[in-house]
Amino acid sequence: MEKAPVGYSIILPPGWKRIPLRNKREMESAADELVAAACRQVPENLPRDFVARYRLEVRRRLGVGIKNARKSGGLDFYLPVAQPGEPLIAASFVVGEVSSADSDRGQFLTAMTSGAGYEPVDVDDSPGVRRELVMEADPTENIEMSSRRVDYVVSVPKNLGRWVTISFSTMGGGDPSDDLADATVSLFDAIVTTFRWSTE
């Protein structure tokens, strides 16, 4: 890659949607579309007040996710939308960016991998690290249930000190260590293999 990347691309499975976090108008438009899509899954014979409460709850939960994603330096927030007749997967991931004062990429990666649970990885030929852990519920941080989390931190080519983060979270089927959580983590890792840097 001759030029420094100015963005990235990623291939999403069917039903997954992106909410851009840098542009308020685009973010709100994408959020409205997701709420509308979720409400279309509600049976038509349910009372209007129930549908209204459901819409408000979906919007509230989505708002919490967006707020947390932006708070952590997120650029884009991704989550699945239930397809007709299919259950919704309780999962999401955020692509963000961080910087480090240490411009020595190798030293930074060594420091990262010395921490518990980190292992070296390559993402689109860029060195990085991957970590997997279970996060306990923390109501003070709007974390209502325990979850399985996977974090990637990847060096941005030709930009010493800049790193892209890809952080995934799932509650599985209610237990972050159950078979559904395992399958969803595998899906996320497969999504990360499609990550590509963009120079345009």
Per-residue pLDDT tens digits of the chain, which is 200 residues long: 568 888 999 999 988 999 999 999 999 999 998 888 877 777 778 888 888 888 888 888 888 889 988 988 899 999 988 666 666 778 999 999 988 766 667 677 776 666 667 888 999 999 999 999 988 877 676 666 788 999 999 999 988 788 999 999 998 888 888 999 999 999 999 999 999 999 87
Q: What is the pTM of this model?
A: 0.84
- The domain total for the chain is 2
Same domain, 33 and 116: no
Handedness of CA 137, 192, 68, 91 (dihedral sign): negative
Q: Which domain holds residue 35?
A: 15-80
Local structure of 157: helix, strand or coil: coil
Identify whether 3 is part of a domain: no
Q: What pLDDT is attached to residue 141?
A: 63
Same domain, 63 and 26: yes
Helices (H) and strands (E) in the chain, counts: 4, 9
Same domain, 120 and 137: yes
Q: What pLDDT is attached to residue 103?
A: 60
The answer to whether 138 and 57 are in contact (CB under 8 A) is no
Same domain, 192 and 96: yes
Q: What pLDDT is attached to residue 196?
A: 96
Q: What pLDDT is attached to residue 146?
A: 83
